[in-house]
Amino acid sequence: MKLSTPLVYSGNPREAADQVAGLEAAGLDTVWVAEPYGFDAPTLMGYLAARTTTVEIGAGILNVYSRTPGALLQTAAGLDNVSGGRAVIGLGASGPQVVEGFHGMSYDRPLGRTREVIEILRMGLRREPLVHQGRSFTLPLPADQGTGLGKPLKLLTKPERSSVPLWVAALGEKNVAMTAEVADGWLPFMFLPERAHAVWGDALAAGAAKRSADLGPLEISAGGMVAIGDDVDGLLDLMRPTYALYVGGMGARGKNFYNDLARQYGFEEEAEKIQDLYLEGRKSEAEALVPRAWLEAGNLVGPASYVRERVEAFREAGVTNLQVSPATQDPAGTIRQLKEWVS
């Protein structure tokens, strides 16, 4: 099992990025860089490439709406070059709130669009001319729709690798099945190991049945906050705002993937109340209703023996890359300790 962490920053990502070199020395395998509607991920990933030597640098995630497949191809190839073959490209549909509210684009055909982007990226990284006829993308543009000058082009520069790992963030059944079929890795959010098979087992199996033999086994990166000690239990409350935000505020009623997930986990009543309170602006009340059982099982907080049990729970659930956010005074020391347990 590999060990990874998300790049967490409040205002200045340079300070957080500078700490990654220390985590790399402690044994960190991968750092994930998100961008929702903050700083763009590729800029920070390029900075990380210059500050590190061995850690994999993953986009977690780039949405498939705000950049064309060609632009995503350029990012994948460019980052893989400047990092010396350490790029991991996480993709996803994000959600209507970001795609429509921040980028001003219609949130349509998220699954089909993601599948087509993956097809085009793999084609481009092999330096094949970009020829694709799909419902979301047509390359090149036919003469009757453009100037008539369009012709298939291939990437001008030679990529570091002909295949860069492509991961997908997915939660819904159809999206997870598609991910298991065509992606190199899966990025589930707010993962609860003991409920993972019940929620996603059928979808993963359906996708795996269609998976090409040319692809290796599906990688999975999931985890949560980590704090090891006998008096750290209260730190779990630090996660309440995040859970409440996603379950309650990331989408309207009936259009919130994370609220649906909470219900699938068995927290139907709590999910409904959290959403009602959050949308009414009563955020602190919504946070108080986040189930303690979910916080405990979805994170790694407690005495060393308990945290080791949680590591094994994630491993048994199929996680191959344990993603952790150290909530300690010595993040590098925490990474070193975890590295011994995941190896």
Q: What are the extents of the domains in the chain?
A: 2-227+301-342
C-alpha distance from residue 162 to each of 57, 79, 159 (Å):
17, 13, 6
As given in the structure block, the two tokens for residue 61 are 């995630």
Rg (CA), the chain: 20
As given in the structure block, the two tokens for residue 167 are 């991961």
Beta strands 132-133 and 138-139, pairing class: antiparallel
As given in the structure block, the two tokens for residue 335 are 């990474």
As given in the structure block, the two tokens for residue 27 are 């044994």
Is 0.75 topped by the overall pTM? yes
Predicted confidence at residue 156, as pLDDT, reads 97
Which has the closest alpha carbon to 242: 308, 198, 199, 298?
298
The helix or strand, by DSSP H or E, that contains position 272, with its residue range, turns out to be: helix 268-279
The helix or strand, by DSSP H or E, that contains position 243, with its residue range, turns out to be: helix 240-244
Dihedral in degrees, nearest 10, Cα atoms 298, 302, 304, 310: -20
Cα–Cα dist 124/134, whole Å: 16
Superfamily of domain 2-227+301-342: Luciferase-like domain (3.20.20.30)
The alpha carbon dihedral of 141, 146, 150, 153 has a sign of negative
One digit per residue, the tens of pLDDT, for the chain of length 343 reads 999 999 988 778 888 888 999 999 999 999 999 999 999 999 999 999 999 999 999 999 999 999 999 999 999 999 999 999 999 999 999 988 899 999 999 999 999 999 999 999 999 999 999 999 999 999 998 888 878 778 899 999 999 999 999 999 999 999 999 999 999 999 999 999 999 999 999 999 999 999 999 999 999 999 999 999 999 989 999 999 999 999 999 888 988 999 999 999 999 999 999 999 999 999 999 999 999 999 999 999 999 999 999 999 999 999 999 999 999 999 999 999 999 999 8
Q: Measure CA 50 to chain center.
A: 22
Predicted confidence at residue 145, as pLDDT, reads 82
